[in-house]
Amino acid sequence: MKDMIKSEITNLFENVPETQEVKELQEEMISNAEERYEDLIQRGFTEEQAYTMVMGSIGDIEELLADLGAQTEDAKDGKAKSEYWEKQNEYWEKQCEYWKWQGEYFGKYAKDFAKDFSEQAKGFGQQMEKQAEDLGQQAKEALNAFASSSVFENISNSIKQIISDVGINFQSDDGNYKDMQICNERKFAADGITEIVMELQSSPVDVDIQLTTDPEIFVQELYNKDPKEDQLLQYVVSGKQLKIHFGPNLIGFPRRGIVRVFLPESLAGTLEELKVLTASGDVSLEDVGAAKQVIKTVSGDISGACAIGEVSLGTVSGDIAFESVEGEVQIRTVSGDVKVSKIVGKASVNSASGDVKVGELQGDASFRSASGDVECNLTKAGEKLEVSTASGDVTLALPEEVGVQMTLNTASGDIKTFLDCIATDEAVNYVKNGKRAVGTIGQEPFLKVKVSTASGDIEINR
């Protein structure tokens, strides 16, 4: 990632004459950017997040480039590039805020766990009460402020300004999809393409990826309003990569759109990477196997048939639904629900308020949720299954004939396990006292099941 910062900054200057002055400025920017990156990593951001934030902090370098003797066209290029990174940055900041909060919460929670549970529950209650009181007070003050001043008018004016700046038309019109028409169609030879990257973070377009018997890659753009030439998507084939992204002009962009991508069946399973980033569009895909699949959206839903390989799915408020995922799966959402019928491999799912439901799991998994419920049916045991929630309930089903070592903790919820009834059996070593249950059953190697929750109920079935 650090190398990418260097090359991305160097790229910004690609159209500027390479004078000593330019070389020095580049070196200066790179050294400062790298230090910022190191700092962000220190503060706990992932490499990808830190990278995007660093690129986002560069800002509009058009003036700087023009000053250094770049051609106007190139300067525009630079501006589009920097605007793109700013948008990326905004998106990640939103995501990061949430993960930081969750990280802090879980960190603190884990530390407190060793302490007395009742004490913690009491503190928790008091904190909530205090928070509720504060919020109530805040709401009261805010209402008074609205009632007694021109604040409301100011805010509504500035929102209007933002809307007109961004060029979004907020008039509700559910018939949008009906009015969609094909505005652009493109075909690309599929030979040699192993990476497909769609970066559509700035506008509400849906992405629909399907397989076709056609030998070529075929893309259709549908919008509910005629886009200008420079508002259509841009397609860049470089080497093995096909990259699809927005052009520089997003002002007054059609309010809704669909991008349909038809991939030849011959590509399924041979792709190295499939990456789709959108802001509020839904993403749906057929059985496109790729070694690495990354799909991220802010408010759109993600739905898919079958994914194979390294799969990373993320939304802020959209739901995630997949029929089956095989490989290493990472799912992150804030308020969306997650539902996967079948996971084979290794899964890590984090959710704040969304529910998580895995119909069938074969392998290892780790689930974390704040208020969402977690439900998982393990049919083939891996080494471990870990779940932690704040207030969400946890329901797990384990396969028969597997040695299990379980450690279950709850602060104020109930614990119910299949061992409750057969605790006298010789092969069973099981102790349950109210809020904690520890035990083993069967032979080694044990499947390690660890569940921790603050106020959720725990139910382990077989």
Partner 1 sequence: MSIASDLLRGNTDTIILASLSERDSYGYLINKEIMAKTEAQIELKDATLYSAFRRLEKDGLVSTYWGDEEVGARRRYYSITDKGREVYEQNKAEWQKAKAMIDSLLV
Select 64 or 334, whichever has its Cβ closest to partner 1.
64
| Strands 205-212 and 257-264, bridge-based pairing | parallel
Q: How far is the CB of 366 from partner 1 (least distance, A)?
A: 32
442 phi-psi bin (left φ>0, alpha ψ -120 to 50, beta other): left
The footprint of partner 1 on residues 282-341 (CB under 8 A) is none
Select 166 or 422, whichever has its Cβ closest to partner 1.
166
Question: Under the criterion CB under 8 A, does residue 89 sit at the interface with partner 1?
Answer: no
Q: Is 29 helix (H, G, I), strand (E, B) or coil?
A: helix
Report the residue from 27, 48, 116, 129 that binds partner 1 according to the rule CB under 8 A: 27
Question: Under the criterion CB under 8 A, does residue 96 sit at the interface with partner 1?
Answer: no
Question: Under the criterion CB under 8 A, does residue 64 sit at the interface with partner 1?
Answer: yes
Question: Under the criterion CB under 8 A, does residue 58 sit at the interface with partner 1?
Answer: yes
Residue 404 contacts residue 446 (beta carbons within 8 Å): yes
Q: What are phi and psi of 254, to 5 degrees?
A: -50, 140
Select 37 or 367, whichever has its Cβ closest to partner 1.
37
Cis-peptide into 17, omega within 30 deg? no
Select 104 or 116, whichever has its Cβ closest to partner 1.
104
The footprint of partner 1 on residues 65-84 (CB under 8 A) is 67, 82
Report the residue from 4, 25, 291, 321 that binds partner 1 according to the rule CB under 8 A: 25
Residues 366-385 vs partner 1: string with x where CB under 8 A? Answer: --------------------
Tokens found for residue 2 = 């650090």
What angle is formed at CA 411 by the lines to CA 355 and CA 320, rounded to 5 degrees?
10
Q: How far is the CB of 30 from partner 1 (least distance, A)?
A: 6
Q: Rounded to an integer, what distance in angstroms lies between the CA atom of residue 382 and that of residue 398?
A: 11
Residue 363 contacts residue 348 (beta carbons within 8 Å): no
Select 100 or 462, whichever has its Cβ closest to partner 1.
100
Closest CA to 393 of 443, 459, 448, 441: 459
Report the residue from 1, 4, 22, 30 that binds partner 1 according to the rule CB under 8 A: 30
Question: Under the criterion CB under 8 A, does residue 41 sit at the interface with partner 1?
Answer: no
How far does Cα 178 stand from its chain's mean position?
A: 29
Report the residue from 14, 18, 24, 129 that binds partner 1 according to the rule CB under 8 A: 24
Select 62 or 282, whichever has its Cβ closest to partner 1.
62
Q: Rounded to an integer, what distance in angstroms lies between the CA atom of residue 435 and that of residue 120?
A: 13
Q: Rounded to an integer, what distance in angstroms lies between the CA atom of residue 249 and that of residue 296?
A: 23
Q: How far is the CB of 249 from partner 1 (least distance, A)?
A: 21
Q: Is 221 helix (H, G, I), strand (E, B) or coil?
A: strand
Burial class (CB in 10 A: 0-12, 13-18, 19+), 385: buried
Number of residues that bind partner 1 (CB under 8 A): 24
Question: Under the criterion CB under 8 A, does residue 57 sit at the interface with partner 1?
Answer: yes
Tokens found for residue 67 = 């000053």
Pick the stretch among 23-31, 110-118, 143-151, 364-372 that binds partner 1 (CB under 8 A).
23-31
Question: Under the criterion CB under 8 A, does residue 141 sit at the interface with partner 1?
Answer: no
Question: Under the criterion CB under 8 A, does residue 29 sit at the interface with partner 1?
Answer: yes
Q: Rounded to an integer, what distance in angstroms lies between the CA atom of residue 191 and that of residue 341?
A: 33
Pick the stretch among 29-37, 294-302, 413-421, 425-433 that binds partner 1 (CB under 8 A).
29-37
Work out the number of other CB atoms within 10 angstroms of the CB of residue 211: 18
Q: What is the DSSP letter of 228?
A: P
DSSP element (H, E) containing 244: strand 241-246
Closest CA to 261 of 282, 286, 237, 240: 286
Question: Under the criterion CB under 8 A, does residue 34 sit at the interface with partner 1?
Answer: yes
Report the residue from 18, 47, 48, 63 that binds partner 1 according to the rule CB under 8 A: 63
Select 34 or 328, whichever has its Cβ closest to partner 1.
34
Question: Under the criterion CB under 8 A, does residue 59 sit at the interface with partner 1?
Answer: yes
Report the residue from 10, 11, 19, 32 that binds partner 1 according to the rule CB under 8 A: 32
Tokens found for residue 329 = 């799966």
The footprint of partner 1 on residues 181-220 (CB under 8 A) is none
- Residues interacting with partner 1, by CB under 8 A? 24-25, 27-36, 39, 57-64, 67, 82, 158
